[in-house]
Structure 1
Amino acid sequence: MAIQAVVFDFGGVLIDWNRDYLYQQLIPDESERRWFLDNVCKMEWVVQQDGGQTIEAGTAELIALHPGHEALIRAFYARWPEMVAGVLDEGVALMERLERADVPLFGLTNWSAETFPYAWERFDVLRRFREVVVSGRVGLVKPDPRIFALMFDEIEKHLPGVQPSELVFIDDNLHNAQAATALGWHGIHHTDASSTEAQLRALKLAF
């Protein structure tokens, strides 16, 4: 079947978000910084907020576990914008080529409902998708199949009768791409724009 739509993850594909952008200022020593980000403000904790837990609750919970790091923990969301460097130009250029070719585009992102508005307001590329599903708003995170089901429902409103095999999902997280593939979509693990473009063209997408 021909590809009918492409779904983009945002962070790491279109938006340059990295905890190091903030914490290299706060913890100059690389080994100390890596320990902190691997053991305190680790991604498993970030995903809790991405899944709908409030920043206030998540911060309090982590401080209770690591009271000696309270200032560094509070900085995570207090200075969260400093983790966002801007757009990833090559990823945006790829998205724009698909857009010009009239390929229906959708967004599926793991993102806190409280921080997502910052990016939504500042990066117009995010407002150019037909529909966007934000994990923090729906209380589910990738790779949970249920969030893909919600995305599919939104796509089907625009493309009645669309089949999973007619959808592509692009994500910089391998597990998320694999989850899409397991559901019958074409999951692409995004490592760089040229590789992703080659995989899209292998699926006979003309853009």
Structure 2
Amino acid sequence: MGRIDTIVFDLGGVLVDWNPEYVYKTIFDKEEDMHWFFQNITTGDWNEEQDAGRSLAEGTALLVKQFPEHEANIRAFYGRWEEMLGGPIQETVDILHHLKYKTDYRLYALTNWSAETFPIALKRYDFLHWFEGIVVSGDEKTRKPFLPIYQTLLSRFNIDPATAVYTDDNVRNLHPAQELGLHTIHFQSPEQFKKDLLALGVDL
């Protein structure tokens, strides 16, 4: 194995705590009603279409047309989206800070994120400016786990997969990276992430 020289981060769930429950726990009295809403109305599949480039207005209008009785709660998803940002996952930010300022690793990010909401995160979190480059699914009109977005990352930034590692909290998103030859880490906690980086020979 060649020396790791590039580390690619997912953002949500790795560096940024994002959770729609922060909003919907203030809307629904019962957790089971909130989870029903996520499973049947504002589903993960629906949200990922906005991550892949569909406009927030179009995605919202589509659901309102399908479920007019839930209009107010549907509109809250993007109307109150900023409240879903819980803050940085500080221990991972600390690892990123060390890599940025104490080592010579190349640092990139690959994220499923709407092009319309990502500027909010860029403004809020200074550490998002520590990367040499970020591939945002909404800008690319595709998303993880589809292979083209990983190929875009590698080609745009001239990354050699044999000397790069990619971390993501969603195992599904690791498989295409592995297919392209990247080392991968399933992010479960900052402590485990650090341990797995050390196992790959990364200087921490």
> Normalising by structure 1, what TM-score?
0.95
| SS at 2:12 equivalent | coil
Share of identical aligned residues, percent? 40
Give 1:145's aligned residue. 147
The residue type equivalent to 1:169 in the other structure is: Y
Give 2:34's aligned residue. 33
| SS at 2:38 equivalent | helix
Give 2:59's aligned residue. 58
Measured on the aligned residues, the alpha-carbon RMSD in Å equals 0.9
Alignment partner of 1:194 is 2:196: no
Alignment partner of 1:18 is 2:15: no
2: CA distance, partners of 1:75 / 1:65: 16
The residue type equivalent to 2:46 in the other structure is: W
Cα offset, 1:68, TM superposition? 1.0
1: CA distance, partners of 2:185 / 2:157: 18
Moved over 2 A (4+): none
The residue type equivalent to 2:70 in the other structure is: H
| SS at 1:170 equivalent | strand
1: CA distance, partners of 2:29 / 2:14: 27
Give 1:96's aligned residue. 97
The residue type equivalent to 1:22 in the other structure is: V
Cα offset, 1:179, TM superposition? 2.1
Give 1:68's aligned residue. 69
Give 2:137's aligned residue. 135
Cα offset, 1:20, TM superposition? 0.3
Give 1:111's aligned residue. 113
**Structure 1 residue runs without a partner (length 5+):** 157-161
| SS at 1:26 equivalent | coil
The residue type equivalent to 1:40 in the other structure is: I
Q: Is the 8 A contact 2:154 2:160 kept in 1?
A: no
2: CA distance, partners of 1:193 / 1:117: 25
The residue type equivalent to 1:165 in the other structure is: A
1: CA distance, partners of 2:97 / 2:172: 25
**Structure 2 residue runs without a partner (length 5+):** none
What do residues 11-43 of structure 1 show as CA deviations (whole Å, max 9, x unaligned)? 100111001000000112000000001110011
Find 1:176's aligned residue among 151, 168, 173: 173
Cα offset, 1:101, TM superposition? 1.4
The residue type equivalent to 2:145 in the other structure is: P
> Normalising by structure 2, what TM-score?
0.96
Q: Is the 8 A contact 1:6 1:105 kept in 2?
A: yes
Cα offset, 1:72, TM superposition? 0.3
Count of residue pairs brought into register by the alignment: 202
More displaced 10-residue stretch of structure 1: 54-63 or 94-103: 94-103
Give 2:4's aligned residue. 3
Find 2:126's aligned residue among 107, 120, 124: 124
Give 1:159's aligned residue. none
Cα offset, 1:163, TM superposition? 2.4
